[in-house]
Structure formats: C-alpha cells, structure tokens
C-alpha cells in the first residue's frame, strides 16, 4: 500500500494540538522516511492563512537538526492548506477536489485527523463521509478525546460515527497507548515466565498507577473546567494502563484479541463508589515562583466557584478470580511537585517473617515517564561482614541500556499505525462504553452533590489526606520514595 498516493488531512490546522503535536510528528515521520513516499499533507481550518503562516507558528515545536534543512523545505512543499467552514458541504467538496488532484493512478488512500473541538466532531465527520471519502482506496479517521462527557454523550457520538464509518476506519487516540512502557506491558507480562505465576491476588497487595504534572491548567482552564482531571486523564490514560496490567492473556497479538481481553476485564470492574474517591483542587503557593503563586480558581478562564477536581485518587475493584480484593489505585493530579507517570505493583509481605519486620515489600515499578525504566525492588543482604538487610533494585533504566533514539514519541508511533492499518493501540468502541460505565455515576454524583475538592498547594505532593487514604488500600511506602 505504501507505493500509492496518500493524503493526510489535518482539520483544526490552526489549533494548538496541530501546532504542538501533529505538524511536528508528521515532520519527524517524513524526515525519517517512515511514511509512504507519495504522501501529501493538507491543513484545513476556518482561518484564512497560508502554509508559510502555519510553518511560522509550528517552527518552535519542530526540531530541525543540522543537515536536515533541505528535507525540511521538501516537507513544506508537500504541504498545502485550505480554509473552509466545518459545517458547509460545499467547502468539503472543494477539499475533495483538492485531494483528488494528488491522486494519480488506480489506488489512493486518505487519512483525516480531527484536531478540532468536540462541538464540531459530528459536523466534520458527516461532511467527510458525504464529500471526501476515497473512491480509490481506504478512508481512515483519527479522533482525539474527549469522546463525550459521560455514557450518554459518548454513546451518541459512537452511534453517530458508527453510522458513517466502520469501526476499522475509526482510530480513537489515547496517546498513552503509544508510549514505550505502556506498549511494553504486554511483553513484560506475557513474554516472561517469571511474572505470570505471581500476577494475582495471592501475591499482589495493591497496584498503584500514578500520573503527576508539575504545572496547572495555564491557559486551558476553559476546556479543563468542563472536564476535570477524572475525565482528562483517569478515565482514559490510567484506565488503559490498568486494563493492560489486569487483563488475561489474549489468544494472539491480533488487535481484536487484545481488545477483547481489555473489554473483558473492564466488565469485571464495578462503577466507582463514592467512598473510593478522593478529589483535590490546587491553591496558589504564596512562596512559589511565577505561576505557582496562582491557584486553579485564579485562572481567569475558570469560574470563581468551580469545584472541578485537578487531583483525584480512586480505588477500582476487579471482581474476578485473579483480582478480587486487590485495590487498583488510580491517582492523578496537576500542579504537583514533579512530572511522573508510573505503575507500582506491590507484592504482599513475606509470610513467616524471620527478619524482625525489616523486609520491605517487593515492588515492580514501571516508569512510563520521564526516563523510561523498569525495576524490581527487592531485599538483599547488605554487602559486608554484618548480616543486615538492604532494599535494592534490579534495574533496567532505558537511558543506561538503550540509546535515546530507541524510544520514539507516542504520536509518531500512533500516526504511523494509522498508515499501516494497525488498530492494536487504539481504543475500540466497546472499551469506551465500559470506561464510561465505570466513571459516569461517580462523576454525576460529584456534580449533583457539588462536592468540594480538598485543597492542596501548587507544587506539593497533593492533598495530605491522599497519603492516608492510600494506606487504607494496602499500599505501603518504603523508605526510598514518597
């Protein structure tokens, strides 16, 4: 298929996502000759502008290394731009003519990326279907969250998309599925004999999946306030990680076999109970620097009385034979002390202790970012004459073991997957249904009861109450981290 002409259309070409992520990504893929030779890129948005305007806006997000200048010029030569409304069919007919000009030969494929606000998802997809589908090859559509705000709105969007395209044509991005260590989860679990016998409630005490960011909603408050951290990060990114950790082994690596298992394990999770959720909202730090002084409510785009959580900790329970009673704790927050996304699989204490309670729990840590790493915390005798215990690690830190170039960006991988037609790392419709089933009731409850989030200081580790809560879920902090 890579021999034939391909057109990649970016709706929302003048927006933030296009500028910061999509243009840089397609440039890297183009630079590395990863895409079909004959690929053309078309930006589409309402703004009247030219390719040079886009280039100017994207420049600072695109890394051009010495010696790549000529290739960079070539990249912009295969770019074009068309302005049009999102809801006018005639504009899409013009777009269709524009694409057709590139499509010499009997076969030609089209990919449409919707980097647009959810309010126009339906219009854009409808118009693509009516005026822009390829008659000489495949048509694929990439969409980004939010996929609705709750079960009802998500179903409505799914039904709409389902009426226009086949599931095989729809690529729902959860960019966490493009991250190296998230993709690694399947291999760690199913290509190693050592883990599978202990991957269960007999051996594992708790699983903690965390996401931390050191900045607030700066400038994105308008969008964020309508969604909150639970919809922004937990219901999608963290739940995806959970399903890859907890699912049974798929029959094969076929994308649908994998996604069948992910859906199956989600079906075993009951909707989150109010007692299993704690929420927080950051307040300014008077001693902090710059933005740290400002709390969430100081953001001019956020309503003054907003109770939208910027931090959340929830325990999910999987009611099946493997996991009953093991808390899966999802924890995420903005404006915290550091950037980190990681999984901690904490093993139970060794029964029949002979070390006077000095042995810490084993923990398998999968650090998604920054600095991909996989390490197993374990107890050893401290080297030397004394017979003491020391906590140590079997450590696979990627930067020490592999070259940086071996870890591509999530978006590069995912966009390439769309070209090759690989849906393994994209969210299937029924996964989404289950995710909303688990989260909608608690989200509704928070809104109905106008639950006030616990305050935490910008740059801190989150609300202090969260640590106490964590302890109730059979998670123990050991000396080396907090």
| Six token digits for residue 231 | 């919809």
Determine, following the binding rule CB under 6 A, whether residue 412 of this chain makes contact with ligand BG6. Answer: no
CB of 433 to ligand BG6, least distance (A): 20
Site string for ligand BG6, 21-60 (x = CB under 6 A): ----------------------------------------
| Comparison of 75 and 171: residue with beta carbon closer to ligand BG6 | 171
Choose the catalytic residue: 6, 175, 237, 425: 237
Structure-token match 């309503």, residue found: 303
Chain position whose Cβ is nearest to ligand BG6: 232
CB of 230 to ligand BG6, least distance (A): 12
Number of residues that bind ligand BG6 (CB under 6 A): 5
Q: CA 346, CA 482: separation in Å to the nearest integer?
A: 14
Strand pairing class (109-114; 139-144): parallel
Q: Residue 280: enclosing H or E segment and its boundaries?
A: strand 277-283
Residue 232: CB minimum distance to ligand BG6, A: 5
Q: How far separated are the first and last CA of the chain, in Å rounded?
A: 50
Q: How far is the CB of 347 from ligand BG6 (least distance, A)?
A: 27
C-beta of 110 vs 145, nearer to ligand BG6? 145
Give the rounded distance of the alpha carbon of 293 from its chain centre. Answer: 28
| Nearer of residues 54 and 233 to ligand BG6, judged by Cβ | 233
- Sheet strand arrangement including 6-11: 79-83, 39-45, 6-11, 109-114, 139-144, 170-173
Residue 225 touching ligand BG6 (CB under 6 A): no
Nearer to ligand BG6, 233 or 315 (CB): 233
Min separation Cβ 367 and ligand BG6, Å:
12
Q: Smaller CB distance to ligand BG6: residue 232 or 431?
A: 232
Applying the rule CB under 6 A, the residues between 309 and 368 that interact with ligand BG6 are 341
Q: What is the dihedral of CA 240, 244, 249, 255, to 10 degrees?
A: 50
Length of the chain: 482
Q: Given the complex with ligand BG6, which of 233 and 432 has the nearer CB atom?
A: 233
299 lies in the site for ligand BG6, by CB under 6 A: no
Site string for ligand BG6, 169-198 (x = CB under 6 A): ------x-----------------------
Position among 91, 151, 225, 232 found at the interface with ligand BG6 (CB under 6 A): 232
Contact between 417 and 425 under an 8 Å Cβ cutoff? The reply is yes
Give me Rg for the CA atoms of the chain. Answer: 24
C-alpha–C-alpha distance, residues 12 and 6, integer Å: 19
Whichever of 219 and 303 has its CB closer to ligand BG6, that residue is: 219
In the bound complex, what is the minimum distance in angstroms from residue 381's beta carbon to ligand BG6?
A: 39
Q: How far is the CB of 241 from ligand BG6 (least distance, A)?
A: 12
Q: Which residues contact 333 (CB under 8 A, 6 or more apart)?
A: 211, 212, 213, 229, 280, 282, 310, 311, 312, 456, 462
- Please name which of 328, 239, 221, 208 lies closest in space to residue 281, comparing C-alpha atoms: 221
Among 91, 213, 276, 431, binds ligand BG6 (CB under 6 A): 213
What are the distances in angstroms from CA 477 to CA 467, 469, 480?
Answer: 9, 12, 8
268 is catalytic: no
Query: Token pair for residue 421?
Result: 């037609």
| 103 counts as binding ligand BG6 under rule CB under 6 A | no
Q: Which helix (H) or strand (E) holds 251?
A: none
φ/ψ (deg, to 5) at 324: -50, 130
Q: Return residues touching ligand BG6 (CB under 6 A).
A: 175, 213, 232-233, 341
> Where in the sequence numbering do the catalytic residues fall?
237
């Amino acid at each position: 298929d890579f021999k034939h002409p391909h057109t990649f259309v970016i709706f929302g070409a003048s927006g933030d996502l296009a500028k910061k992520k999509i243009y840089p990504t397609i440039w890297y893929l183009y630079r590395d000759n990863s895409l079909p030779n004959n690929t053309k890129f078309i930006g589409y948005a309402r703004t009247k502008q030219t390719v040079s305007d886009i280039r100017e806006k994207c420049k600072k997000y695109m890394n051009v290394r010495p010696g790549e200048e000529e290739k960079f010029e070539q990249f912009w030569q295969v770019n074009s731009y068309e302005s049009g409304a999102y809801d006018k069919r005639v504009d899409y007919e013009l777009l269709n003519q524009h694409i057709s000009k590139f499509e010499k030969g009997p076969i030609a494929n089209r990919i449409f990326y919707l980097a647009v606000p959810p309010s126009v998802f339906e219009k854009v997809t409808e118009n693509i279907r009516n005026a822009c589908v390829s008659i000489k090859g495949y048509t694929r559509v990439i969409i980004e969250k939010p996929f609705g705000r709750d079960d009802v709105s998500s179903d409505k969007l799914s039904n709409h998309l389902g009426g226009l395209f086949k599931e095989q044509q729809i690529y729902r991005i959860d960019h966490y599925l493009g991250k190296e260590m998230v993709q690694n989860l399947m291999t760690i679990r199913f290509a190693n004999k050592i883990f599978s016998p202990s991957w269960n409630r007999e051996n594992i005490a708790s699983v903690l999946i965390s996401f931390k960011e050191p900045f607030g909603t700066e400038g994105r408050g308008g969008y964020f306030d309508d969604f909150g951290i639970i919809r922004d990060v937990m219901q999608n990114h963290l739940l995806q990680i959970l399903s890859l950790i907890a699912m049974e082994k798929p029959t094969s690596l076929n994308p649908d076999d994998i996604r069948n298992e992910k859906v199956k394990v989600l079906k075993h999770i009951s909707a989150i109970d109010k007692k299993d959720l704690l929420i927080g909202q950051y307040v300014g730090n008077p001693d902090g620097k710059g933005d740290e002084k400002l709390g969430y409510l100081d953001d001019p785009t956020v309503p003054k009385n907003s109770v939208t959580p910027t931090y959340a900790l929830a325990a999910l329970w999987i009611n099946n034979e493997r996991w009953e009673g093991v808390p899966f704790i999802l924890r995420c927050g903005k404006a915290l002390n550091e950037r980190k996304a990681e999984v901690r699989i904490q093993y139970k204490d060794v029964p029949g202790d002979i070390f006077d309670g000095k042995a810490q729990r084993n923990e398998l840590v999968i650090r998604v970012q920054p600095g991909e790493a996989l390490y197993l915390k374990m107890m050893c005798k401290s080297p030397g004459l004394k017979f003491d215990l020391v906590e140590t690690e079997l450590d696979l830190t990627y930067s020490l073991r592999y070259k940086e170039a071996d870890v591509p960006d999530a978006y590069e991988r995912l966009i390439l997957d769309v070209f090759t037609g690989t849906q393994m790392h994209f969210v299937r419709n029924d996964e989404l249904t289950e995710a909303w089933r688990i989260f909608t009731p608690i989200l509704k409850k928070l809104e109905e009861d106008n639950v006030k989030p616990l305050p935490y200081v910008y740059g801190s580790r989150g609300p202090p109450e969260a640590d106490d809560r964590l302890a109730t879920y059979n998670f123990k902090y050991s000396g080396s981290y907090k």
